[in-house]
Amino acid sequence: MNIPRQFYGINYVSKLIERFQDVEMSDIPELKFHEIEDVEEIPLEQEDTGALGLNSKRLSQMLRQLTYDHMCALDGIAVAKDEKLVFAGYRPPYSAEIRHITNSTCKTVTAIGIMFAISEGKLHEDDLVASFFPEYENVLTPKYVKEMTIQDLLTMRSGSKCSEFSAMVETNWVQAFLMTECSEEPGTRFVYNSMDTYMLSAILIRVTGESLMDYLKPRFFKPLGINHIKWELCPEGYERGGWGLYISLEGMLKIGIFLANDGAYLGRQLIDPSYIRKMKDTKIVQDTDKLATGYAYQLWHLPKGLYMLSGMYGQHVIIDEKHKLIIATNAHSDKLFPDSKLVRTILDCMTDEELYRPESAAKEGAAYRRLLQDFELFHEGFLPRKPENKMPYLAYYKNQQLKRAKEKARLRELLSQFDGRRLHIDQATIKLFPYMLQGMYQCPPYTVTDIAFRLQDNAVKICFYKERTRKERRENSRREQLILTAGLNEYYTQTLPVAQQDMEVAIKAYPAMDEDGNDVVKFDMVFPSAGFSRLLKFFFYGDRIGIECMEYPDMRAIMERVLYGEAVIGGNTIDLTNKLPDSIRVFLEHKVEPNVNAYLS
């Protein structure tokens, strides 16, 4: 029996926290997807900055700022103007072959689907939400839910208390939404809520008789030449609408171009422009984010006439419609809303008049070549040259390769102490996978008590021994082992079964030193499609080894913001703040980022 959220009370919160606890979660449904793999991928044509009226030096400055500042946490970036590509790519281990989760960026795609349906007369903005699901309407249906319209969902003004957290504990999301009380009358106040967008997806599927992906494929994805995409499904088999779309950076650029052109792409008008213009108009002023100035139909408005598609942790498409300039990013920041160092750095560049004043043809040509060279350095995992660095590109590139080779030699020396030996964690355990995978992707915890190492030519094999359960200890069962490969000073990508699906994981081992000058070996474990990573640091103290675990995006920072009122998600922050004890801080400190001791045998 599915109990409506309003009857959960503290048990509802307990279920949420349980998702981040050390349980196997065997009752969690398998994560499923709808995919598109049969559309012809049409890449954007590339053009130099001079022909596009852009200043390469200003773009280079932005690239340096984004890559040197760790707060930006940049994983990939793409720039287009006038439907032409300037550059697009990723830092290792991210790539176009591994599609990246876009988080809330896809809310705008769902809204585009709604606008297509409205243009075809399949529904109207004033239609009542409950009217599409008569099977769930009864005497218990809350009064305000009966008054809620599609426009209320589009503008995040449903007032519903059924938030993103409901998706973690419910199996029938439509029923949960329709049976949950509203905190206030629909249409009166903006409260960001991904379940509003999910309901738009469910309504679109109900009125069209096909999945959201299938509906948009001939109207949107195929004309834009966007292929190799997938969308997570809810337990009922609907696309989640508000999150869960995996797509490339170039695909994100194309969506931005479509919006900037009022629904046209490469000269072809795909929808009556009035519907897209209506979608982009500012509908309300919001107070959730310090940077954004307003909210339209699943779009954030920014200062100086810009607007954006925004997904948490830095999945953004920022649009300057006046100049037809689009910038898309993937990142692993711990920011949930648009206001971040990443977005502000890009806005500073996009709104700088210098950007639209290219130099003379010869100077601009040289600056453009340097821009592409610096971007190639980013693509290879190196930092771009600073302006004062006059070293020729090839010399700088070889210098970086030499530096990497020296670090690799030092790493081999450090790892030789581990080779063929087992590391025993003393009176404690660590979690191998990021907690965000456990909370958002139903990834069972993998609790590690011992780690063995085997050094190879260009990699190190790592065997993680999972902690045995009480039953396994009683039965003296063989310990479960997981063997992964880390590249030496470069990422080694492999496939790992996670939460009933195969997920790519890339691992790199590299050397470092702590603030006291002690040797450190770091193992960076990245899940490129999800954008999460786990960093294991091994500190050398004679015969003892210290292990520190970190996670990116920083789950501890995210949870603290949510739990202590610094971020508003679906209007539920105050509820959680009042109900959760201070012991959650201890949980976050000792479980998400534990520090433990170990010894070699």
Residue 122, H or E segment: none
Per residue in 512-535, is it b (16+ CB within 10 Å) or e — as a string?
beeeeeebbbbbbbbbbbbbbbbb
pLDDT for 557 equals 66
pLDDT digits 0-9 by tens, 510-526: 999 988 888 999 999 99
Report the candidate in 262, 339, 252 with the shortest Cα–Cα distance to residue 303: 339
Q: Which two tokens stand for residue 216?
A: 């948009």
pLDDT for 588 equals 57
Peptide linkage before 93 cis (omega within 30 of 0)? yes
Spatial contact of 399 and 419, defined as CB atoms under 8 Å apart: no
Mapping DSSP to helix (H, G, I), strand (E, B) and coil, where does residue 233 land? strand
Sequence-separated (6 or more) residues with CB below 8 Å from residue 532? 332, 434, 436, 437, 526, 551, 552, 553
pLDDT for 509 equals 97
Query: Which residues does residue 538 pair with via DSSP β-bridges, in sequence order?
Result: 521, 547
Peptide linkage before 553 cis (omega within 30 of 0)? yes
pLDDT for 239 equals 97
pLDDT for 16 equals 44
Mapping DSSP to helix (H, G, I), strand (E, B) and coil, where does residue 193 land? coil
- Spell out, as residue ranges, where the chain has pLDDT lower than 50: 1-26, 564-581
pLDDT for 159 equals 94
Q: In whole angstroms, how far apart are CA 184 and each of 180, 188, 233, 272, 404?
A: 12, 7, 29, 34, 58
The model's pTM is: 0.91
